[in-house]
Amino acid sequence: MDADTRLVNIEEKIAHLEQYLGELDGVVREMNDRMDGYQAELTKMRELVESQNASSDDEPGDDGPSDQRLEDERPPHW
């Protein structure tokens, strides 16, 4: 194999690697965007649970003792 053929092969491999790296970068960016969305959703859910816990602590009702927290409640199928 002569030097020109080797150089062409190396250039082809580099071109393929650059293309693959670009695709991989796109996937990583998409996953990062999804993770940011999941983090925002989790934050909202935590705030909702905390506000429900706070309101259930303030107002005792027919659902049980006022000191019971949402985390301690049994799911309806139990």
Per the CB < 8 A criterion, the answer to whether 53 and 69 are in contact is yes
User: What is the pLDDT of the chain when averaged over all its residues?
Assistant: 87
Strand partners, 64: 61
Q: How far is residue 57 from each of residues 43, 53, 64, 71, measured CA to CA in Å? A: 21, 6, 11, 13
pLDDT tens, residue by residue, 23-35: 999 999 999 999 9
Quote the tokens at residue 73.
């409640």
pLDDT tens, residue by residue, 33-58: 999 999 999 999 999 999 988 887 77
- Name 19's Cβ contacts closer than 8 Å, sequence gap at least 6: none
